[in-house]
Amino acid sequence: MKVALRAALLASSLALHASGKPPKRDPPLLFGGPVTKVVTKAPLDPRLPTGPALAATPPRPLTTAARCSFTRPVCVHATSVAADGLLPAALSAMETAYERTVLVLGIPAPIGSALDFYVSAEPQELTVSQEPLELGHWDRAAVFCRGGASGALLDRQASLCVGEAVASALDAGESPEARRALSLELWWIGGVKTSLDVQAVDDAQRHPEAPLSQTGGYALLLDLLETTRSAASPGLLSASMYSAAASRTSPGAALFDNEPDLFDVLRHSLDEELPRYTDLMVDFALRRALAGDRDDGTRFPSLGFAGSFVRPHFDWVIPFSTLPRRVLSGTPVAPSGTQLIWLELDDAPMGAAIGFRAEWEAPVAFQWRILLVDREGREVRRFDVPFQERARSADARVLRLDSAKAIIIAGVNVGGVDLAYPFDPDIQPFEPAACTVYLVSM
């Protein structure tokens, strides 16, 4: 498996430039590779959480029948007599999910002698439980799954089960939300989308202000990296991130020591340069803003299955005729979350310009970007607001509005406190921050 992981790491890359057009490919950027400067991470208060809890493994359900594959390390179990007849379909779904994830995509296999799926006769949401950590240097664990569905939803549960088993084998210390995000992305790559996938995208896009450490946000970020910034085959970039984030937890600890986490890997892949990291985050925010039926085919093309449901919620939609306006973020923005504002330009006169100013309070840092789009959602121009880590305001002047239909303003709460304490998804609860935006016609 280590050979496969090294190959995945060497194949993984991120393109550094972001635009509405297909991104240019820069030289490969390796996760876990050398950085241009040494960054010393300051010690954290020992009272702060270091990762998810090392919970006791729940007892396995009682079963009435079981079937195991002769070709793949998967087994299915009926939790009642009524579920016995579901085992052939469930076993077929698990075999297909394993083959699609491990053999076709080339993702490292789960650990353990066999992956067990306990099938209910009644519809039941998928739950995944970790086994005790495998003895060794890295946090790795087998899992077992419980669920109940039929048809395409059974295929989806089987795929998510295999995906979470992969995530737990690569880095058991990641949060349940992060492990589910990897399994969801692997399903989106190879599976047939269902109404539950549309709902997952819709839930995430309804709350762009929420932290990316929630399942939907994680999955959208992974999907963007896979579809626009990876030089590897599908799925390997995401798996490489989890492999590079592998951690070690001391025996007897109550919490995982999830260092590094996925965001550490992302920053490290960008040479620990905060402006490059914030540029990636704000580009991701603008792509989310134009996803769905506003997409010109270059933003989030892989989410086209969700149609208009992938449209995000804008904090404010402001007609040009109502300027000047000063607005407060309707919902405070969590670390790694985004505020989105839509400025409608239908009434803008020829030669008009817009003045922009955003303000927020210490110790939060925001990164802003302004995008002009036409009626088809195509980029007309963009205005980059330079990132200043210790600034508490940002200003820009937007000129030449004549060919644009709307202005999209995205502000990302970078999170963390300073360079010594960057955003850590394991330190919760998160403290959201509000900001004000002033817009004036000039």
Side chain identity, residue 33: G
Enter the tokens of residue 183: 């399994």
Is the residue at 279 inside a domain? no
Question: Does residue 370 lie in a domain region?
Answer: yes
Helix or strand (DSSP H, E) at 151 = helix 151-170
Single out the residue in 243, 271, 299 at which a domain terminates. 271
Q: For residue 75, what is the domain's CATH number?
A: 1.10.390
CATH number at residue 356: 2.60.120.380
Spatial separation of the C-alpha atoms in residues 39 and 204, rounded to whole Å: 33
* Contacts (Cβ under 8 Å, ≥6 apart) of 164: 128, 143, 145, 179, 180, 182, 183
Query: Residue 25's pLDDT is what?
Result: 42
Radius of gyration of the chain (CA): 23
Q: Is residue 202 domain-shared with residue 119, that is, in the same domain?
A: yes
- Return the ∠ at Cα 298 (arms to 295 and 304), rounded to 5°: 50
Q: Domain count of the chain?
A: 2
HSE of 378, CA atoms in CB hemisphere, 13 A: 6
Residue 301 lies in a domain: no
Rounded Cα gap, residues 440 and 409, in angstroms = 14
Could you count the other beta carbons within 10 Å of the beta carbon of residue 251?
A: 6
Residues 218 and 120 grouped into a single domain: yes
CB 126 within 8 A of CB 159: no
Single-letter amino acid, residue 266: L
Shared-domain flag, residues 105 and 35:
yes
Domain assignment present for 292 = no
Alpha-carbon torsion (293, 221, 200, 214), positive or negative: negative
Task: Tell which residue, 313, 304, 312, 415, has the closest CA to residue 366.
Answer: 415
Shared domain for 235 and 321, answered yes or no, is no
Tokens at 341, concatenated: 């504002």
pLDDT in tens, the chain (442 residues): 443 443 344 344 433 333 344 444 443 444 444 444 445 556 667 778 888 999 888 999 999 999 999 999 999 999 999 999 999 999 999 999 999 999 999 999 999 999 999 999 999 999 999 999 988 779 999 999 999 999 999 999 999 999 999 999 999 999 999 999 999 999 999 999 999 999 999 999 999 999 998 899 999 999 999 987 888 889 999 999 999 999 999 888 899 999 999 999 999 998 888 889 999 999 999 999 988 777 777 788 788 888 888 889 999 999 999 999 999 998 999 999 999 999 999 888 888 899 999 999 988 899 999 999 988 888 889 998 988 888 899 999 998 888 899 999 999 999 887 667 888 999 888 899 999 999 999 8
Does residue 403 lie within any of the structural domains? yes
If residue 199 lies in a helix (H) or strand (E), which one and from where to where?
Answer: helix 195-205
End-to-end Cα distance, the chain: 60
94 and 216 belong to one structural domain = yes
Same domain for 94 and 209, yes or no, is yes
HEC secondary structure over 328-380 = ECCCCECCCCEEEEEEECCCCCCCCCEEEEEEECCCCCEEEEEEEECCCCCEE
Shared domain for 135 and 29, answered yes or no, is: yes
- 102 and 154 fall within a common domain: yes
Structural domain containing residue 120: 2-271
* Residue 171 falls inside a structural domain: yes
The Cα–Cα gap between 117 and 143 comes to 9
- Asked which of 249, 271, 293 is the last residue of a domain, the reply is 271
The answer on 158 and 69 residing in a single domain is: yes
Indicate if 225 and 360 belong to the same structural domain.
no
Is 153 a domain residue?
yes
Query: Which candidate, 20, 3, 29, places its Cα nearest to that of 265?
Result: 29
Per the document, the length of the chain is 442
- SS3 of 232, please? coil
Q: What local confidence, expressed as pLDDT, does residue 50 receive?
A: 85
190 located within any domain: yes
pLDDT digits (tens, 9 = 90+) for 68-109: 999 999 999 999 999 999 999 999 999 999 999 999 999 999
Q: Are residues 227 and 329 in the same domain?
A: no
Q: Are residues 153 and 234 in the same domain?
A: yes
